[in-house]
């Protein structure tokens, strides 16, 4: 059961408390963002102009590639630099957040007691496979709550993989020797979104040849004037190669001009607006069709559509 609205402090209040380090308030704020969707921006317009944007590092790749293990390693290194770290783990297999939370409780357990690390798991409910409106809103909340770096983990299946490019300031595509060859990655359009190809599980056979293939593709991409990704081999379970990723992250963190400018681009805002509006209208369509029983109902619905649509949900 959802809590009654009146028992909750306003969203802005929760966010303010979250910014002062109250983790419980931040957790409740994020749940409110999930519940409210786009309306949250009305209730807490300060989300639109965060004064302290956190560097967003995206990690995407096939299931089981070692993304969470890498995230855990990255958190450890970033904490050594005394940076405040947020994590959003998007789990497409989970229609609701609860299922995802359980899995990541275990994966990130070593960081749970650290007050400067905040981890949130998120299902992709209602987002047609892409990043949900909630993810965009939560990232804004992390900005407002003075996080330095936010790691966004998405499983590389379908649209969410591509969406990561519109939210992350730097995208790491995590591949493993057994995930198929570089050509496969090219076909999936990964060359366009990757800033770094992480060849994880480099303790397994085939890692070097995958890395070479990726390097070759990156080189060809650079020669034709497109983005050229760095290729890094890692063994996440042992922390091998992670320092290279951390150094890249710190370099970006320490020279924010480029990514801060990209962050405020109209193109990014358009992608965010699409996610927000999509969720809003999906909710609306769901509500409108709940009671539909016959073709007459359908006709009536169509007739009233334009006026209802203007009112939106609730």
Ligand X SMILES: Nc1nc2c(ncn2[C@@H]2O[C@H](COP(=O)(O)OP(=O)(O)OP(=O)(O)O)[C@@H](O)[C@H]2O)c(=O)[nH]1
Nearest-angstrom CA–CA distance, 93 and 99: 9
Cβ 153 to ligand X shortest distance, Å: 6
For ligand X, the closer CB: 205 or 225: 205
Q: Burial of 75 by CB count in 10 Å (0-12 exposed, 13-18 middle, 19+ buried)?
A: buried
**DSSP letters of 265-292?**
-HHHHHHHHHHHHHHHHHHHHHHHHTT-
Beta-bridge partners for 153:
59, 89
124 in contact with Mg ion (CB under 5 A): no
Distance, in Å, from the CA atom of 17 to the CA atom of 51, rounded to the nearest integer, reads 16
| Beta carbons of 129 and 158 less than 8 angstroms apart | yes
Size of site (CB under 6 A) for ligand X: 16
* Of the candidate residues 16, 28, 67, 271, the single one contacting ligand X (CB under 6 A): 67
Q: Is 63 in the site for ligand X (CB under 6 A)?
A: yes
Nearer to Mg ion, 45 or 64 (CB): 64
Bridge partners, 58 (sequence order): 152, 171
Binders of Mg ion: how many residues, by CB under 5 A?
A: 2
Residues 56-95 that bind Mg ion (CB under 5 A): 67-68
Work out which of 10, 64, 95, 312 binds ligand X, going by CB under 6 A: 64
Shortest Å distance, C-beta 204 to ligand X: 6
Q: How far is the CB of 294 from ligand X (least distance, A)?
A: 44
Please count the CA atoms within 13 angstroms of the CA of 145 that sit on its side-chain side: 34
Among 37, 50, 53, 66, binds ligand X (CB under 6 A): 66
**In this complex, which beta carbon is closest to ligand X, that of residue 56 or of residue 271?**
56
Interaction between residue 233 and Mg ion (CB under 5 A): no
- Asked whether 309 and 284 are in contact (CB, 8 A), the reply is yes
Strand partners, 197: 173, 231
Contact positions with ligand X (CB under 6 A) in 228-257: 235-237
Cα separation, 259 vs 136, in Å, equals 17
Find the shortest distance in angstroms from Cβ 122 to ligand X: 12
CA-to-CA distance for 242 and 236, rounded, in angstroms? 7
Q: Which of residues 115-174 bind ligand X (CB under 6 A)?
A: 155
> Taking the complex as a whole, how short is the minimal distance between the CB of residue 67 and Mg ion, in angstroms?
5
Binding residues (CB under 6 A) for ligand X: these are 63-69, 107, 155, 200-201, 203-204, 235-237
Sites of contact with Mg ion (CB under 5 A): 67-68
């Amino acid at each position: 059961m959802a809590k009654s609205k009146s028992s909750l402090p306003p969203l802005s209040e929760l966010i303010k408390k979250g910014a002062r380090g109250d983790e419980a308030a931040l957790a409740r704020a994020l749940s409110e963002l999930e519940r409210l969707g786009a309306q949250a921006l009305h209730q807490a317009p300060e989300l639109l102009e965060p004064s302290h944007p956190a560097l967003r590092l995206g990690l995407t790749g096939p299931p089981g590639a070692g993304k969470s293990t890498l995230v855990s390693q990255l958190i450890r290194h970033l904490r050594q630099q005394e940076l405040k770290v947020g994590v959003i783990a998007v789990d497409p297999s989970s229609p609701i957040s609860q299922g995802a939370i359980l899995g990541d409780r275990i994966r990130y357990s070593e960081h749970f007691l650290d007050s400067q690390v905040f981890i949130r798991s998120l299902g992709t409910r209602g987002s047609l496979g892409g990043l949900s409106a909630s993810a965009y809103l939560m990232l804004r909340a992390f900005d407002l709550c003075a996080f330095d770096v936010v790691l966004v983990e998405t499983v590389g299946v379908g649209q969410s993989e591509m969406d990561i490019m519109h939210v992350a300031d730097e995208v790491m595509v995590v591949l493993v020797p057994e995930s198929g060859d570089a050509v496969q990655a090219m076909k999936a359009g990964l060359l366009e979104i990757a800033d770094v190809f992480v060849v994880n599980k480099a303790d397994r056979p085939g890692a070097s040849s995958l890395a070479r293939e990726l390097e070759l593709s990156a080189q060809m991409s650079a020669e034709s004037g497109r983005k050229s990704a760095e290729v890094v081999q890692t063994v996440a379970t042992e922390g091998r190669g992670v320092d290279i990723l951390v150094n890249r992250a710190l370099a970006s963190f320490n020279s924010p001009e480029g990514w801060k400018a990209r962050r405020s681009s109209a193109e990014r805002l358009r992608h965010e607006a699409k996610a927000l509006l999509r969720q809003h209208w999906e909710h609306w369509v769901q509500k409108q069709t709940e009671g539909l029983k016959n073709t007459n109902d359908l006709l009536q619905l169509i007739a009233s559509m334009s006026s209802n649509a203007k009112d939106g949900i609730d």
